[in-house]
Structure 1
Amino acid sequence: MTTTLDAKAGGAPKGGKPLFEGRRNLATQILVYIFILVPFAALIAAVPFAWGWGLGWVDVVLAVFFFYLSGLGVTVGYHRLFTHGSFKAKRPLKIALAVMGSMAVQSPPVTWVADHRRHHAFSDREGDPHSPWLFGTSPLALAKGFWHAHMGWIFDHDVTNKQRFAPDLLADRDIVRVNKLFAVFTGLTLILPAVLGGLITWSWWGAFTAFFWAGLVRVAVLHHVTWSTNSICHMIGERPFASRDKAANFWPLAILSFGESWHNLHHADPTCARHGVKRGQVDTSARLIWIFEKLGWATDVRWPTEARLAKLAAE
């Protein structure tokens, strides 16, 4: 059943808190464009830039390291821990995951969580910030929907109401502190690869190429991997489990997305710590959570059970 939204209440269900808490100011909107489009431009330039010069093993190793560091910060920290409470983390791990996620340059943790919780509350319906199905099912509508779900929604000016969707994080002093330092971690995620590249190669050129590949290009690739879960994984793929939306499994993205593209089970059972639950479904994020549990850093992990999976499959 589709929820009726009250436009006067900022898109909230009647009698509830509004979806939005206001609109982005001009300075924030300009920064959004810069940090989305500049890494994307670097990604486009990467192909001719790589032909024959400007790329070495130091750049590749640093790019892979920071891709995993920031990517797992989003999938394990922002997503499975902070958004869905798939496990509980000891304080040092909680803070580390919030910092790692911030280094993906996908917005501060409270903002990211509020947007994603709104996505689940209204998945593929009016109120979902990035559903590809909001404009119809014609070829033109689906093309428009794909663009909107993939990255167009990021340029919307409306800001999700954090008091409504992330009050627990607003009450967490550690997360609020990390949230306020987002600009610092954005700088570090670009500067650290350059510093390491310069020190390892002992050259300014090594610093520049590391900044380009392990900084800008890495951020751009991670952006598009994350956005593909919003777009592709709500349009095509397999749906072995029952969910109230069109979330699907798209196996080609499984490794790059750290297991997030096993999206059908996630929407069928959002708090489950493992998304890839069938044989052969690689889920790097779940494996890392398992390691944290074995080390005693994570507790109360919500692992899938055979009975629960059978029930979801039957539905």
Structure 2
Amino acid sequence: MPRSPTTPTTASPSAPSPPQDYDGTSPFPTDGPAPPRDGGERLYVTVTAVIVVLPFLAIGLAGWLLWGSLVHPADIVLALVLYTVTGLGVTVGFHRGLTHGGYRAVRPVRIALAVAGSLSFQGDVITWVATHRRHHAFTDRPGGPHSPYRYGTHLRGQLRGLLHAHVGWLFRNDRTPPDRYAPDLLADPDIRRVARAFPELCVLTLALPFTAGRLIGGTWLHGVTALLWARLVRVALLHHVTWSVNSLCHMIGDRPFRTRRHDRATNLWPLALLSFGESRHNLHHADPTSARHGVDRGQLDPSAAVIRLLERFGWVYDVRWPTPARVAARRT
């Protein structure tokens, strides 16, 4: 069945086309003076700070509690289950499915994966997809939302760029217009409903571990420790793993496959399991619609395994699996 492209390659007014003379090493052109921040801008920065900083602080609190042995087996099990469900919601649902069209899914699975990804606290599904498509349109070039080369390739610029690519870009409020980068999702009423429900899903991702911990342990204390480990610590870990694909996987690792000019996406094997295969980032940028990122022998790619399982159940179809010829054509 023929399919239309799902990844826009043209720029929007908020992401101008990169200069033709960009040399790949110089700092990106400045965006000009920032406009005065209004109430909406300040609210955006405040909410972003809470989402970014609170889970990170929870890791310190969790360490203190662990030192005091205030951790229960149910907390760890809940954290692992929710990390897996929400992480696969991001990698299989948001990324390989909705962003790049690596497969088609039956409607209930499409919605379920969008909901699971939304529980990761990484933003609503349409904004996430639009931002990532823009990342591919302008990878490591002016116009990209989170390139670690924004401030140049000298040491100080790269250190500053690493921080920007990892978390700093979230505070710039450099919004990507969904009508330009994700019109297909805006046209999907079910996905629009999931996107609008993001605040309620954030509350749900708080309530689930607390309620489950209290039911399993029978006390409020069990609910609180489950909230700490299965919500705050779990979200913090998944956040930083996802952000590491933006930052570390464009600076450190090997590059066995050819990518577009200036695109420095790498494979970083230590993150492969935690990222469910997303850190096989070099192949992904060489062949973005491929449903599998770890294509060489011994390369773990749990997300691809889940897509394969869903395919066998008949819940996803028209999967774009990499062929030996396609992989060979992209090797350096």
Q: Calculate the TM-score normalised by the size of structure 1.
A: 0.93
Give me the whole-angstrom Cα distance separating, in 2, the residues matched to 1:146 and 1:235.
8
**Match for 1:173 among 170, 174, 189?**
189
Aligned to 2:30: none
Indicate whether 1:277 and 2:309 are aligned: no
Select the structure that is richer in helix: 1
Q: In the alignment, does 2:325 pair up with 1:307? A: yes
Which residue, out of 148, 152, 155, partners 2:164?
148
- 1:28 aligned onto 2:32: no
Q: CA deviation at 1:49?
A: 2.1
| Aligned position for 1:256 | 274
Q: Which amino acid aligns with 1:214?
A: A
State the TM-score, normalized to the length of structure 2: 0.88
SS at match of 1:62: helix
Q: Which runs of 5+ in 2 are unaligned?
A: 1-8, 19-34
1:164 aligns with 2:180: yes
- Taking the aligned partners of 2:15 and 2:128, their CA distance within structure 1 comes to 19
Closer, same or farther: CA 217–93 of 1 in aligned 2, 3 Å: same
- Alignment deviations for residues 57-108 of structure 1 (CA, whole Å, 9 cap, x no partner): 1100000000001000000000000100000000000000000000000000
Query: Structure 1 CA distance, aligned partners of 2:278 and 2:10?
Result: 30
Q: 1:229-248 counterparts in 2 under 5 A?
A: 229-244=245-260, 245-248=263-266
Per-residue deviation, 1:11: 3.5
C-alpha spacing 1:5/1:211, structure 2 compared with 1 (3 Å): closer
- Whether the 8 Å CA contact 2:17–2:142 is kept in 1: the answer is no
CA distance in 2 between partners of 1:200 and 1:10 (Å): 49
Q: Which amino acid aligns with 1:242?
A: R
Residue 17 of structure 1 corresponds to none
3-state secondary structure, aligned to 2:140: coil
Q: CA–CA distance in 2 between the matches of 1:236 and 1:267?
A: 15
Matched, 1:112 2:116: no
Structure 2 distance, partners of 1:270, 1:64, is 28
Change (3 A) 1:106 1:5: closer
Gaps of 5+ in 1: 15-21
Q: Distance in 1 between matches of 2:102 and 2:14?
A: 30
Deviation at 1:229, TM superposition (A): 0.4
| Matched letter for residue 78 of structure 1 | F
Q: Is the 8 A contact 2:103 2:317 kept in 1?
A: yes
- Structure 1: how far apart are the matches of 2:79 and 2:258? 37
The verdict on how the C-alpha distance between 1:140 and 1:63 changes in structure 2, with shifts beyond 3 A counting, is: same
Q: Displacement of 1:4 after TM fit? A: 11
Match 2:207 to one of 178, 191, 194: 191
Judge which range, 47-56 or 275-284, deviates more: 47-56
What is the CA distance between 1:5 and its match in structure 2?
A: 8.2
Q: Which runs of 4+ in 1 moved over 2 A?
A: 3-6, 9-14, 22-29
Q: Tell me what 2:15 maps to.
A: 11
Tell me by how many angstroms 1:25 deviates.
Answer: 3.2
Question: Equivalent residue of 1:169, what SS?
Answer: helix
- Secondary structure at the counterpart of residue 12 of structure 1: coil
* Identical-pair percentage: 53
* TM-superposed deviation, 1:136: 1.2
Q: Hey, what's the Cα distance between the residues in 2 that align with 1:157 and 1:236?
A: 27
Q: Which range is displaced more, 36-45 or 80-89?
A: 36-45
Aligned to 1:55: 71
**Aligned positions, number:** 304
